[in-house]
């Protein structure tokens, strides 16, 4: 099985960026952890981060072509307004789990809307970095269900 861990804008500075909201762990550490979790579960985890909407869309298309089994995706602020990313997810067959480190519903009102949610397999919100781990397990279960 192969899964994609996809992170959007500003998540490259995880660990430095508003640590009171997002914690002290870096993106490299998070990616390492999820790749290791994949190995423990006989799965490959590919990682990608971009600050650019189009690059994230290209990656979603590429994942679809490669027949990836599931995508763990934190779209960052694009969550709240990127119809282009939403359309990309709607157009692929792979289940996508939307992850947010912070509890977006306890923050500014512009964060309360997700244009991604209607096309995501599910959302994991406000649980910190463990959300990525939970998403991995959920996608693995979904894949087992399809086998």
Q: Which of 79, 82, 114, 133 binds ligand DQA (CB under 6 A)?
A: 79
Contact 115, 80 (CB under 8 A): yes
Q: Is 76 in the site for ligand DQA (CB under 6 A)?
A: yes
Site for ligand DQA in 87-106 (CB under 6 A): 100-102, 104
Task: Give the up-direction half-sphere exposure of residue 71: CA atoms within 13 A in the CB hemisphere.
Answer: 31
111 is in an annotated binding site: yes
Region of 139 (left: φ > 0; alpha: ψ -120 to 50; beta: rest) is alpha
The answer to whether 15 and 25 have CB atoms below 8 angstroms apart is: yes
CA 97 to chain centre: 6
Q: Interface residues for ligand DQA in 4-33 (CB under 6 A)?
A: 10
Binding site for ligand DQA (CB under 6 A): 10, 74, 76-77, 79, 100-102, 104, 111
What residues act catalytically?
A: 22, 100
Q: Binding-site residues for substrate, please?
A: 74, 80, 87, 101-102, 111
């Amino acid at each position: 099985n192969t899964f994609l861990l996809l992170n959007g804008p500003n998540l490259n500075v995880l660990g430095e960026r508003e640590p009171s909201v997002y914690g002290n762990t870096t993106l490299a550490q998070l990616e390492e952890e999820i790749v290791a979790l994949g190995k423990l579960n006989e799965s490959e985890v590919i990682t990608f981060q971009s600050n650019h909407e189009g690059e994230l869309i290209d990656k979603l298309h590429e994942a679809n072509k490669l027949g990836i089994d599931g995508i763990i995706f934190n779209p960052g602020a694009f969550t709240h307004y990127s119809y282009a990313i939403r359309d990309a997810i709607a157009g692929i067959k792979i289940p996508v789990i939307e992850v947010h480190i912070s509890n977006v519903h306890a923050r500014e009102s512009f964060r309360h809307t997700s244009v991604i949610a209607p096309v995501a397999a599910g959302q994991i919100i406000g649980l910190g970095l463990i959300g990525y781990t939970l998403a991995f397990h959920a996608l693995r279960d979904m894949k087992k269900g399809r086998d």
